[in-house]
Structure 1
Amino acid sequence: MTPERIMIIRHAEKPAAGLGGGVDENGKADEESLAVRGWQRAGALARFFSPAEGAHAARLRPATVFAPGTGPASKSRRAMQTVTPLVALLQQTSHVEFVTTYLKDDGAALMRDVLARSGIVLIAWEHKVLPSLIGYMPHAPKVPASWPEDRFDLVWVLDRTGSEWSFTQLPQMLLAGDSAEPIK
């Protein structure tokens, strides 16, 4: 098995100057959680990846969602929080597997698991390691060398054609200030 499509996103907005501190799902201050704007993006991403109607819904709705779990070297819950609203929405009408067993630096093991899946896979991860994840793919397409610190608004899409992978960037355009410009 190999997925037909792999979509990759960076976790939503984190605590930063101008965005305020992080808050958990109950509104309690937590610097390992999303900023309020990040929670807004997480909610909007649920409908982005699972639109109520539309022909493109089948090409965006994942069967498997990956986000890094927490561990001694990584206490951040931001990637899990980014996709939790989507997983909850998908589970209302279909089966979706939510995998959080890998830590943020377990790229090789993560991608072995991703490549063993079928259908559409979504990965929400830390931006610093996203380009390196592609390197674990056979016949990997060329992608930007780094994901900018200030970009939370893109989806990297890898589509399989035979043994090859194509690469495109899909702007989310969900919140004010989102950009349609690709990462170069």
Structure 2
Amino acid sequence: MAPDRIMFIRHAEKPDANEGNGIEADGKADDESLAVRGWQRAGALARFFCPIDERHSARLTPATVFAAGNGPASKSKRSMQTVTPLVALLQATSQVNYITAHLKDDGPALMADVLAQSGVVLIAWEHKVLPPLIGHVPGAPAVPATWPENRFDMVWILDRTLGGWSFSQRPQLLLAGDTAEPIR
């Protein structure tokens, strides 16, 4: 068993000088949570990956969603918060595996778990770790060496091919300021 498609997204916008403070879903201030714009993106991502027009959902709607869990080395909740609205929508309409057991630096174990899944898999993770994660996929294609600090608006996609995997990028184009420019 192996997935047909693996999609990678960076967690949504985090607190900084431009985005303001981090907040939990209940509005409580928390530096380990998403900024307001991040929560907006998280909500929009639910329909991006689970579109109302079902003709487009087969290749975007994940059967399994992975988000970086938090622990002593990383207290960030942002990866989990980014997919919370999507997971809630999927749980209301279908079955979805939601896995937060892996910490952000647990690449080999995460990717072994990902490769044991079937169908479409979505991974929401920290941007610095995304390119190296793909290196754990046997036969993985070349991808950009870094995910830029200021890009929250792209989906990296690995599709299974006869000889391994192909790589593509799909812009989200969900919020003002998002761009279709691929990550290089």
TM-score calculated relative to the size of structure 1: 0.99
Paired position in structure 1 for 2:124: 124
Give secondary structure in 2 for the equivalent of 1:60.
coil
2: CA distance between counterparts of 1:7 and 1:70? 21
2: CA distance between counterparts of 1:88 and 1:111? 24
One-letter code of the match for 2:125? W
One-letter code of the match for 1:27? G
Per-residue CA shift, 1:88-145, capped at 9, x if unaligned? 0001111001000000000000000000100000000000000000100110100000
Paired position in structure 2 for 1:22: 22
One-letter code of the match for 2:49? F
Paired position in structure 2 for 1:98: 98
2: CA distance between counterparts of 1:26 and 1:183? 33
**What is the CA-CA distance between 1:161 and the residue it aligns to?**
1.2
**What is the CA-CA distance between 1:18 and the residue it aligns to?**
1.8
1: CA distance between counterparts of 2:102 and 2:54? 33
1: CA distance between counterparts of 2:22 and 2:34? 5
Paired position in structure 2 for 1:46: 46
- Asked whether 1:11 is paired with 2:11, we answer yes
Give secondary structure in 2 for the equivalent of 1:87.
helix
2: CA distance between counterparts of 1:119 and 1:132? 22
**What is the CA-CA distance between 1:79 and the residue it aligns to?**
0.3
1: CA distance between counterparts of 2:10 and 2:163? 26
- Asked whether 1:86 is paired with 2:78, we answer no
Paired position in structure 2 for 1:71: 71
2: CA distance between counterparts of 1:162 and 1:113? 21
2: CA distance between counterparts of 1:33 and 1:146? 23
2: CA distance between counterparts of 1:4 and 1:150? 29
1: CA distance between counterparts of 2:29 and 2:99? 26
1: CA distance between counterparts of 2:162 and 2:2? 10
**What is the CA-CA distance between 1:54 and the residue it aligns to?**
4.1
Per-residue CA shift, 1:42-101, capped at 9, x if unaligned? 000000000011422111000000001110010000000000000000011110010000
One-letter code of the match for 1:136? H
What is the aligned-residue identity percentage?
Answer: 72
Paired position in structure 2 for 1:108: 108
2: CA distance between counterparts of 1:87 and 1:153? 19
**What is the CA-CA distance between 1:163 and the residue it aligns to?**
3.9
Paired position in structure 1 for 2:133: 133
Give secondary structure in 2 for the equivalent of 1:81.
helix
**What is the CA-CA distance between 1:162 and the residue it aligns to?**
2.4
1: CA distance between counterparts of 2:44 and 2:59? 17
1: CA distance between counterparts of 2:119 and 2:162? 14
Give secondary structure in 2 for the equivalent of 1:90.
helix
Give secondary structure in 2 for the equivalent of 1:55.
helix
